[in-house]
Amino acid sequence: MFDYNAPAGLLKDRVILVTGAGDGIGRACALSCAAHGASVVLVGRTLSKLEEVYDEIEAAGHPQPAICPLNLETAVEKDFDDLADQLFDTFGKLDGLVHNAGLLGPRTPLDSVKTEAWLQLMQVNVNAPFVLTKAMMPLLRAAPDASVVFVSSSVGRKGRAYWGPYAVSKFALEGLMQVFADEQDGTSTIRANSINPGATRTSMRAAAYPGEAPEKNPEPAEIMPVFLYLLGPDSKTINGQALDAQ
């Protein structure tokens, strides 16, 4: 596991947006950020799941989160701009942006992937993080040391047969991270990095490996040290890096 022991108040006074915050790794990230003092913006497509996370954070007495339902597949640029306006009015800045939401999509040979499924996956896994990052730039610039985190995968760093558009989308995300990080280098205090979570006990993992015993893999909460490291001030000088959670 990534070796980092986050101090209790690590993210105090920080505002952190997490996509796909209602389930799996995104849910754990939202809860962990809130527990370390951040005001968390919960973005996702299933309102009931976001509400459960909201209630859990509130019951624990952590800073009040914000719920922003958004379907990354159907959202248009104006929806992202409206979200940015709303966050500007409420918080005035964004210290952390975690691009976590993702689709697994078809795991078949490329020549049998339906074009429609390919386009749908690229919309959620690549296009939405691009448009969301663009919309959030004024908010990220308003924070003293903003951190953008792209949640990638091992198949986004080395291609593997039958991982289809999912693998290609994660390569694109790594590319987006690298180009963006290089542009920010020396021109702003914004940094961008990627995380490969490694095998983690979520519904996406169960869908990818239906025969696997779920207990074999760590819970999402166990892989949080690298997320906290990248979102807190200790990683201020880390930019353009591809990190592993495990």
Catalytic residues: 166
The alpha carbon of residue 158 and the mean position of all alpha carbons in its chain are separated, in whole angstroms, by: 20
Q: Is residue 44 close enough to count as binding ligand NAP by CB under 6 A?
A: yes
Q: Is residue 153 close enough to count as binding ligand NAP by CB under 6 A?
A: yes
Q: How far is the CB of 198 from ligand NAP (least distance, A)?
A: 6
Q: Is residue 167 close enough to count as binding ligand NAP by CB under 6 A?
A: no
d(CA 79, CA 131): 10
d(CA 103, CA 93): 28
Coil, helix or strand at residue 57: helix
Of 14, 36, 45, 62, the residue at the interface with ligand NAP (CB under 6 A) is 45
Q: Is residue 194 close enough to count as binding ligand NAP by CB under 6 A?
A: no
d(CA 100, CA 152): 8
Q: Is residue 73 close enough to count as binding ligand NAP by CB under 6 A?
A: yes
**Residue 152: count of CB within 10 angstroms of its CB:** 26
Residue window 101-130: x/- pattern of binding to ligand NAP, with contact defined by CB under 6 A:
xxx--------------------x------
d(CA 148, CA 240): 10
Query: If you compute the radius of gyration of the chain from its CA atoms, what whole number of angstroms results?
Result: 17
Q: Is residue 165 close enough to count as binding ligand NAP by CB under 6 A?
A: no
Positions in 83-102 near ligand NAP (CB under 6 A): 100-102
d(CA 90, CA 19): 18
Of 96, 106, 165, 197, the residue at the interface with ligand NAP (CB under 6 A) is 197
For binding to ligand NAP (CB under 6 A), which residues are involved? Answer: 20, 22-26, 44-46, 49, 71-73, 100-103, 124, 151, 153, 197, 199-200, 202-205
